[in-house]
Amino acid sequence: NITNLSQEISTIIQQQAYKKEIKFVANIQNDILINGDPYRLKQVFINLLNNAINYTPQGGKVFLEVKLLSDYLQIVVQDSGIGIPEDDMNRIFERFYRVDKARSRNTGGTGLGLAIVKHIVEAHKGYIQVKSEVEKGSTFYVYLPMHKNIS
């Protein structure tokens, strides 16, 4: 139940956002059931939302949307944060890759979060896209097929 799962995670993220004075808004469609691994899918939400909070300064905004398109579940995680430079865009899904190590060192990540997200999404026969603009923010789009059997 993707609806319940993403609502649970939103409660946790809301607390993190509140502490950092970030405005968090979640728009989650009701009654979405999907064929997949709930623990792994939870990790997808957590990793994307943690990034959104981590790479967004105080006073910013983070938005989560979960909705059903015709054959796909669409998950959108949008932030008004530091953004990702064009040159780094195709490398952020690599293991241990971090943009500008000096800049992001204080956030203490290992550079694995997005590699894990991509791996899980692809294991569910889905795909992930990102749009970003430096100092404006980033938007990650995850698409998971609704009617496929996952082996």
Among 83, 113, 126, 137, binds Mg ion (CB under 5 A): 113
Q: Which long-range contacts (CB under 8 A, 24 or more apart) does 131-135 make?
A: 132/83, 132/84, 132/89, 133/83, 134/82, 134/83, 134/84, 134/85, 135/82, 135/83
Nearer to ligand ATP by Cβ, of 111 and 145: the residue is 111
The answer to whether residue 128 forms part of the interface with ligand ATP (CB under 6 A) is no
In contact, 26 and 8? CB cutoff 8 Å? no
Write the interaction track for ligand ATP spanning residues 97-116; mark x where CB under 6 A is met and - where it is not.
xxx----x----xxxxxxx-
The answer to whether residue 45 forms part of the interface with ligand ATP (CB under 6 A) is no
The answer to whether residue 78 forms part of the interface with Mg ion (CB under 5 A) is no
Nearer to ligand ATP by Cβ, of 110 and 149: the residue is 110
The answer to whether residue 2 forms part of the interface with ligand ATP (CB under 6 A) is no
What are the tokens at 14?
Answer: 């809301």
Give me the least distance between CB of 33 and Mg ion, in Å please.
28
Give me the least distance between CB of 113 and ligand ATP, in Å please.
2
Among 51, 60, 121, 126, binds ligand ATP (CB under 6 A): 51
Q: Which residues bind ligand ATP (CB under 6 A)?
A: 47, 51-52, 55, 79, 81-84, 92, 97-99, 104, 109-115, 138
Residues that bind Mg ion (CB under 5 A): 51, 109, 113
